[in-house]
Amino acid sequence: MIKLQKKKTKILFKELILRLLYIAHKSKLFRRIFLAVVPEIYVNTVFREKQFNRLVLFSTFSTTGKVSKNLTFYLRKLHELGSDIVLIDTSPISLPEEIESIRPFIKQYIWRENFGYDFGSWKVGLSETKDWKSYEQIVLTNDSVYGPLTPLQPIFSKFVNTDIDVWGLTDSYEFDYHLMSYFLVFQNNVLKSEAFERFWNQFVFYPTRWKKLLILEYEVGGTKYWKKNHFKMSVFIPFISLSPNTDKTYYINPTHVFWNTIITEHGFPFLKRDLIKALLSKNLTHEINDLLETNQYYPINHIDLLNN
């Protein structure tokens, strides 16, 4: 079990400093310095033309350049769902034979310099997908999750024939309210808007070590941006449905605190990689084994952290 953690004075002070840095980096001078910084693209290979109306921009990283069983499984399930996938890789090494093994599932492969985190990869993926405007839906996702544990189609079906413009799987109040960015979906109404292009055209590749600034600007800030531009947002599993009375002065990541509940009771299709690490540190991985031993959809041996 992962417990709620109340923000201590030291943490709150660090958060204040972070917010002050965030305000400073919004200055025109600061942005002008980094706006011209772009990552080098080492490989950009298009394997095929458009097949589907859904485009998935998939951010991945591996210290070894190896393609994991989990990544292969996730890409295959997205492809079977009816998705053209652009894989953006920031690994220190790219192995052609590894990429060849997943070629049947991807439309395009991009290997780029590693800074800018996931949003940087999605920015590059969008810029290098010349026909992205022809798609009716764009999905942003990454390899920070294991799964899917169950089929994704029922989740996508929930948002068909609705007026929702931007949706995710979960939301959070960490730092401030936001849709969690490991899985974000943009509908056609957003893709055809000037606001969508402006969001990505204004993207700044800040140095890698400033990850939390990127979270504030593009995860928390992104949620505010879509709302400001009058787009309707929603999530598959709203936090308020899990814990309507929880004090917002706690660090609340629903994919950690309520991981078992959202999977068994709400149909959440993933296990977060950092959750597995947390459970390993507390010798609680038996809870994962208990959960997945009857799962006929996702092979538990795809979770490399448990195998190690």
Please report the DSSP string for the chain in residue order.
Answer: -PPPEEPPHHHHHHHHHHHHHHHHHTSHHHHHHHHT--PPEEEEEE-S---SSEEEEEEE--SS-PPPHHHHHHHHHHHHHH-EEEEEE--S---HHHHHHHGGG-SEEEEE-S-SHHHHHHHHHHHH-TTGGG-SEEEEEESSEE--SS-SHHHHHHTTTS---EEEEEEE-SSS-EE-TTEEEEEHHHHTSHHHHHHHHT-----TT-HHHHIIIIIIHHHHHHHHTT--EEEEE-HHHH-TT--TTEE--HHHHTHHHHHHTT----EEHHHHHHHHHTT-THHHHHHHTT-SSS-GGG-HHHH-
Task: Take residue 161 and report the two structure tokens written for it.
Answer: 């024939």
Residue 35 has pLDDT above 90, yes or no: no
pLDDT for the residue numbered 4: 47
pLDDT for the residue numbered 230: 98
Quote the CA–CA distance of 123 and 253 in Å, as a whole number: 25
Q: List the single range of 44-48, 157-161, 293-297 with lowest mean pLDDT.
A: 293-297
Residue 249 has pLDDT above 60, yes or no: no
pLDDT for the residue numbered 212: 73
Q: List the single range of 31-35, 94-98, 101-105, 226-230 with lowest mean pLDDT.
A: 31-35
pTM of the model: 0.90
242 or 182, which is more confident? 182
Residue 1 has pLDDT above 80, yes or no: no
Residue 248 has pLDDT above 70, yes or no: no
Q: How confident is the model at residue 210 (pLDDT cuts 50, 70, 90)?
A: low
Residue 27 has pLDDT above 70, yes or no: no
- Strands 183-187 and 84-89, by their bridges, are unpaired
What does pLDDT average to over the chain? 89
Residue 280 has pLDDT above 80, yes or no: yes
Residue 88 has pLDDT above 70, yes or no: yes
Q: Residue 111, exposed/middle/buried by CB under 10 A (0-12, 13-18, 19+)?
A: buried
Quote the CA–CA distance of 161 and 157 in Å, as a whole number: 9
Average pLDDT over residues 167-177: 90
Average pLDDT over residues 144-173: 97
Residue 208 has pLDDT above 80, yes or no: no
Average pLDDT over residues 121-143: 98
84 or 284, which is more confident? 84
pLDDT for the residue numbered 253: 86
pLDDT for the residue numbered 245: 72
pLDDT for the residue numbered 215: 77
Q: What class is the 5-307 domain?
A: alpha beta
Q: List the single range of 23-27, 46-50, 279-283 with lowest mean pLDDT.
A: 23-27
Buried (b) or exposed (e) across 22-57, using 16+ Cβ within 10 A?
beebeeeeeeeeeeeebbeeeeeeeeeeeebebbbb
| Per-residue model confidence as pLDDT tens digits over 49-66 | 999 999 999 999 999 999
pLDDT for the residue numbered 98: 98
Q: List the single range of 106-120, 204-218, 231-245, 279-293 with lowest mean pLDDT.
A: 204-218
